[in-house]
């Protein structure tokens, strides 16, 4: 049965690629806009591809060094005759390559879809919405199809869950740096454009006179499309890897129902997403928020039905099915909670907008307070999902409780194809709105793209909350996978059948690891935000220089064009310079804790890292989303509208929120995944070569 299900998973992946190709063809066939629109769009595409090429050039060298280290030392020194090292190194490189490929596909279609959505806004909202959503859906289908195909193929060839961890580590490592680099690039340009354009000069958001506007649009693609795609690719692969490690640990065989259920449920989630994407339409109300929500709920319902039928027909455990559905349900609830704190139709945004009339200090205080409040429902949701899945599956036997948590993570990420489609829609329509303004397509087109962009901001906040929550469950499952890997290594070394059954907080080694692990997300975030600050300072100086030295630029004289490429270069060079240190810091500290305190200290380290990382990620993501929509709410005419004191205060809040929600916040969950995977891969080394 397992072989048939693996073949079904591969067939579903191929179907997803077919769907992606059809969507790409549809988007590309849509009418083009005027020449000015095409020229600006081509400039954005060129900038995004140039950044990606330079970033991947650096990351390929980094991946090569890591692959050599894996070949030499993981899971055991190669001179001890371990062929598994070669499998691990190759799996790592395949994971990194697939992750990079998913980001490249996303950039390619997003930089075409933005032009098509802008051009379609001249005729109406329906086709403008479809161009944006279907462009994003290409990314969704490519990312999930690639992740499912990669995991299935590696597992079929090796039958080894540790090789899957290597594949996942490759995906996570590249995602960590891609998300950090893209986030630094996009927020450098966004902050600089807003502070000089909106606050100092009072010109519109996407005014072509501003030298940073093209870099800002490039950043939307490299940060929110390629970066978020790599992030969710990593989470999806990591959830399957953790579940497969525990499935094999439970039964000791690759041909079991537990392994089969992981592939079956993951494939059915992709199938539900394919159908959901294919049926997404703008309804009679012409409300993009409603269209995005209804297609997501339809996908969720399809997944519940598909997995229930599969469980009945294939005689899987209903308890494991319940754990997956618990994860999916809690993911939906966390998305709704994120929506409440960030949606411009809800009280928190209205409250902070009103407070902005009194000055930026109250904008900041309100956003911070609501961001902190938003942490509780999400953290409680993750805790309830983990506890419920644990209790539901515990009666199945020893080890099944943690397997239940891993299946809750698989369930939560089951509709990730639809989630990525929604998420990538956001930056596409954001770009489209800028293109409409820069291309002079008129007020009607601007109103339509403003409506699409507002829905994109809301859905981005929801998907970021979902991604962080999914990472939370995934890394709890990876903690279980770490214990399983340690126990396997201990058994092989004759150290007992159940070397680790938990982590005692009164053990000083565990507590040592806990405190260090809890500090890492804060330091990691600070390094990324400081990177954005340093880079933005450089770009603001460049914008000032251009406005002072290029005659007629500030006045908007005909034929006077800013030097857009200078700002793109500053964002690119700065992002590539800043992206490596923060990621390396997290990796090096993990290794130090493992070599000093061994597996007990690593258990504490991972626990502290998970708890503080989730708290900080949720806080920053929701605060940033709230400040962004507060600014847009005031720009819609509330509390004085554009240019008033409340608007200037809201722009300051949005500037603070930009690196929160698009650089540090969403990068933390990838950081947690990376250190969890390193810990599992190094488990046998930490078991035998630690100081204490």
Separation CA 199–CA 496 (nearest Å): 65
CA torsion sign for 536, 542, 545, 547 is negative
* CA-CA-CA-CA dihedral for 177, 463, 94, 528, to nearest 10: 10
Provide the 8-state DSSP code for 555.
T
Helix residue ranges, H only, 220-317: 228-251, 257-279, 288-314
Contacts of residues 295-300 at CB distance under 8 Å and 24 or more positions apart, as own/partner, are 295/418, 296/415, 296/418, 296/419, 296/422, 297/332, 299/272, 299/273, 299/275, 299/415, 299/417, 299/418, 300/272, 300/328, 300/332, 300/415
pLDDT digits (tens, 9 = 90+) for 447-491: 888 888 878 877 776 776 777 777 788 888 888 888 888 888 888
Environment class of 535 (CB within 10 Å of its CB; exposed 0-12, middle 13-18, buried 19+): buried
Is pTM beyond 0.85? Reply is yes
Of 97, 70, 244, 225, the closest CA to residue 171 belongs to: 97
* CA-CA-CA-CA dihedral for 385, 337, 361, 183, to nearest 10: 70
Mention every residue, 6+ apart, whose C-beta is less than 8 A from residue 320: 258, 261, 311, 393, 396, 403, 404, 407
Predicted confidence at residue 255, as pLDDT, reads 58
**CB 230, CB 679: distance < 8 Å:** no
Structure-token match 């004289």, residue found: 557
Predicted confidence at residue 665, as pLDDT, reads 87
Cis-peptide into 75, omega within 30 deg: yes
Domain boundaries, the chain: 2-688
Predicted confidence at residue 323, as pLDDT, reads 96
pLDDT digits (tens, 9 = 90+) for 312-346: 999 999 999 999 999 998 888 888 888 889 888 89
Most distant CA pair in the chain, distance: 80
Separation CA 28–CA 529 (nearest Å): 37
Predicted confidence at residue 609, as pLDDT, reads 95
Both ends of the chain: CA-CA distance in Å?
Answer: 46
What single string gives the DSSP state of each residue in 502-539?
A: ---TTSHHHHHHHHHHHHHHHHHHHHHHHHHHHHHHHH
Angle CA(300)–CA(11)–CA(156) in degrees, nearest 5? 105
Name the stretches of the chain with pLDDT < 50.
Answer: none
Of 125, 91, 7, 208, the closest CA to residue 449 belongs to: 125
**CB 212, CB 541: distance < 8 Å:** no
Separation CA 199–CA 647 (nearest Å): 9
Predicted confidence at residue 675, as pLDDT, reads 93
Of 503, 661, 675, the closest CA to residue 187 belongs to: 661
Encode 180-218: b = buried (16+ Cβ within 10 Å), e = exposed. Answer: bbbbbbbbbbbbbbbbbbbeeeebbbbbbbbbbbbbbbb
**CB 453, CB 472: distance < 8 Å:** no
Encode 472-487: b = buried (16+ Cβ within 10 Å), e = exposed. Answer: bbbbbbbbbbbbbbbb
Six token digits for residue 204: 């519109």
Predicted confidence at residue 601, as pLDDT, reads 96
Six token digits for residue 7: 């073949």
């Amino acid at each position: 049965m397992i072989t048939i299900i693996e073949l079904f998973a591969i067939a579903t992946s191929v179907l997803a690629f077919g769907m992606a190709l059809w969507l790409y063809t549809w988007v590309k066939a849509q009418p083009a806009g005027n020449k000015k629109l095409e020229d600006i769009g081509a400039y954005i595409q060129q900038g995004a591809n140039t950044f990606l090429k330079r970033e991947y050039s650096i990351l390929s060298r980094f991946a090569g060094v890591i692959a050599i280290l894996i070949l030499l030392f993981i899971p055991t020194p190669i001179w001890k005759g371990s062929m598994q090292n070669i499998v691990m190194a190759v799996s790592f490189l395949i994971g990194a390559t697939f992750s990079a490929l998913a980001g490249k596909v996303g950039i390619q279609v997003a930089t075409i879809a933005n032009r098509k959505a802008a051009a379609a806004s001249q005729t109406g909202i329906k086709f403008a919405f479809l161009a944006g959503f279907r462009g994003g859906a290409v990314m969704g289908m490519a990312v999930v199809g690639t992740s499912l195909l990669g995991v299935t193929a590696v597992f079929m060839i090796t039958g080894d869950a540790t090789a899957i961890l290597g594949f996942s580590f490759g995906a996570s490592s590249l995602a960590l740096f891609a998300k950090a680099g893209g986030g630094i690039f996009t927020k450098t340009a966004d902050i600089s454009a807003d502070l000089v354009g909106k606050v100092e000069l009072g010109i519109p958001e996407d005014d072509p006179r501003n030298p940073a506007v093209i870099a800002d649009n490039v950043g939307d693609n490299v940060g929110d499309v390629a970066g978020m795609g790599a992030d969710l690719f990593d989470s999806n692969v990591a959830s399957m890897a953790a579940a497969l490690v525990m499935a094999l640990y439970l039964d000791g065989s690759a041909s079991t129902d537990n392994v089969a259920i992981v592939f079956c449920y993951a494939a059915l989630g992709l199938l539900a997403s394919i159908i959901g994407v294919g049926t997404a339409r703008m309804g009679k109300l012409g409300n993009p928020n409603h269209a995005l929500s209804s297609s997501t709920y339809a996908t969720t319902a399809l997944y519940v039905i598909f997995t229930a039928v599969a469980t009945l027909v294939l005689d899987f455990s209903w308890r494991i099915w319940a754990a997956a559905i618990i994860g999916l349900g809690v993911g939906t609830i966390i998305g709704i909670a994120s929506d409440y704190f960030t949606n411009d139709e809800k009280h928190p945004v209205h409250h902070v907008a009103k407070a902005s009339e009194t000055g930026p200090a109250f904008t900041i205080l309100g956003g911070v307070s609501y961001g902190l409040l938003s942490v509780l429902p999400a953290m409680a949701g993750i805790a309830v999902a983990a506890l419920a899945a644990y209790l539901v599956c515990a009666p199945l036997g020893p080890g099944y409780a943690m397997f239940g948590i891993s299946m809750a993570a698989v369930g939560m990420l089951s509709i990730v194809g639809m989630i990525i489609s929604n998420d990538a829609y956001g930056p596409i329509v954001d770009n489209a709105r800028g293109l409409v303004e820069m291309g002079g397509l008129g007020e009607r087109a601007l109103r339509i793209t403003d409506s699409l962009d507002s829905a994109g901001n809301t859905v981005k906040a929801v998907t970021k909350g979902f991604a962080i929550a999914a990472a939370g469950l995934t890394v709890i499952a990876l903690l279980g996978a770490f214990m399983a890997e340690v126990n396997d290594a201990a058994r092989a070394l004759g150290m007992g059948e159940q070397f680790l059954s938990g982590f005692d907080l009164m053990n000083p080694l565990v507590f040592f690891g806990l405190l260090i692990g809890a500090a890492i997300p804060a330091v990691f975030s600070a390094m990324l935000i400081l990177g954005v600050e340093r880079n933005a300072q450089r770009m603001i100086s460049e914008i000032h220089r251009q406005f002072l030295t290029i005659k007629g630029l500030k006045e908007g004289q005909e034929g006077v064009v800013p030097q857009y490429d200078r700002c793109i270069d500053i964002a690119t060079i700065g992002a590539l310079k800043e992206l490596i240190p923060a990621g390396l810091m997290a990796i090096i500290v993990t290794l130090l804790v493992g070599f000093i305190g061994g597996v007990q200290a690593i258990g504490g380290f991972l626990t502290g890292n998970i708890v503080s990382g989730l708290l900080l990620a949720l806080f920053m993501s929701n605060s940033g989303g709230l400040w962004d929509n507060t600014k847009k709410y005031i720009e819609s005419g509330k509390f004085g509208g554009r240019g008033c004191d409340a608007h200037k205060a809201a722009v300051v809040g949005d500037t603070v929120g930009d690196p929160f929600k698009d650089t540090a916040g969403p990068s933390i969950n990838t950081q947690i995944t990376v250190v969890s995977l390193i810990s599992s891969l190094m488990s046998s080394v930490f078991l035998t070569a630690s100081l204490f």
